[in-house]
Amino acid sequence: AEFKFLRRLILVHGRYSYNRTAFISQYSFYKSLLICFIQILFSFSSGLSGTSIFNSISLMAYNVFYTSLPVMTIIFDKDISEATVLRYPQILLYSQAGRLLNRSTFAEWFGRSLYHAFVVFLITINAYADEKSDMEELSMVALSGCIWLQAFVVTLDTNSFTCPQITLIWGNFVAFYMINLILSAVPTLQMHTVMWHLCNQPSYWITMALIVAAGMGPVLALRYLRNVYRPSAIDVLQQIEQTDGHAQAPGNLESSTGTYLDYLLTDLRRNKSSIHQPLLSDSASSR
């Protein structure tokens, strides 16, 4: 009786907790680097003048409100259903091997933050190069580009959508504009009329569309190619869940799933590269 719920505790709650922790830690790393890289690029373009492209209010709001609340929705996320996890407990090996939190995944998030910083900065600078824009407008355009990318990044990495998730992700997105429109109405602030002026410019919305397309296009393409040509065991189980009871008979489903899980076990044992080793592990091999 003492171990009655141990199987569910480890396979379901333990695995979900690992997945969510892995995403939140790496996303926090990504969003902070994104702002830092944009600031570094601006410093070089301004001749190392020491001027910040973002004001203190924007930086505080970015870290406290605009990017912190949406990622909290990941606590509701489930990459595969509880029934599937209990049905194929071998999938726990994927978490034990640290495939969602290792040097390779951190490098991927680092590269994404650097790429997105170049996208936001270069598109913003070039889009407003010929316009009579002051520093506050340029700052708000760059910040808006970051917020747009954050919303799509969280949406892309969310596997299951619930009402709280949709509300927090896109409600926070709407709140960004409402808050800045209100602040733009305060005459004593430096950003007075800035957001009102930008929202009335077609070039602003075109710039946002370009940032999203350039920033998320390659990410979506790589995600698609990986799912098609090199799917992980989780990708396979997600596809099987979508076709379960529709495209395959139960016997074929069990057979294909078993084959892919065997592939997972073989791949995890064969790949001993240090970049895929878990960052946090109590195993002897990780010491």
Output the 3-class SS for 177-218: HHHHHHHCCCCCCCCCCHHHHHHCCHHHHHHHHHHHHHHHHH
**In sequence order, what are the residues at sequence separation of 6 or more whose Cβ sits closer than 8 angstroms to the Cβ of residue 247?**
none
251 within domain boundaries: no
Q: Output the six-digit token pair for 230.
A: 């090199």
φ, ψ (nearest 5 deg) of residue 233: -60, -35
pLDDT at 75: 86
pLDDT at 245: 42
Three-state DSSP class for 129? coil
In terms of C-beta distances under 8 Å and separation of at least 24 residues, what long-range contacts does 3-11 make, across chains too? Answer: 7/86, 7/89, 8/86, 10/92, 11/85, 11/86, 11/89, 11/92
pLDDT at 246: 42
* Cα–Cα distance measured from residue 134 to residue 147, given in angstroms and rounded to the nearest whole number: 20
Q: Is the distance from CB of 62 to CB of 150 less than 8 angstroms? A: no
Question: How many CB atoms sit inside 10 A of residue 3's CB?
Answer: 7
Note down the domain range covering 136: 6-229
% of the chain exceeding 90 in pLDDT:
31
Cα angle for residues 99, 103, 104 (degrees, 5° grid)? 65
- CA dihedral 253→20→165→173, nearest 10 degrees, is -130
% of the chain exceeding 70 in pLDDT:
82
From start to end of the chain, where are the E strands? none
The number of domains in the chain is: 1
Is the torsion defined by CA of 52, 25, 229, 153 positive or negative?
negative
141 within domain boundaries: yes
Output the 3-class SS for 103-123: HHHHHHHHHHHHHHHHHHHHH
170 within domain boundaries: yes
Q: Output the six-digit token pair for 57.
A: 């209010």
55 within domain boundaries: yes
Half-sphere exposure of 220 (CA within 13 A, CB side): 12
Q: pLDDT tens, 123-168?
A: 999 888 666 667 888 889 999 999 999 989 998 988 888 888 888 8
252 within domain boundaries: no
**In sequence order, what are the residues at sequence separation of 6 or more whose Cβ sits closer than 8 angstroms to the Cβ of residue 278?**
96, 97, 98, 101, 102, 286
The residues of the chain scoring below 50 in pLDDT are 245-255, 265, 272, 274-276, 280-287
184 within domain boundaries: yes
pLDDT at 285: 43
pLDDT at 266: 56
279 within domain boundaries: no
Place of tokens 């799933």: 257
173 within domain boundaries: yes
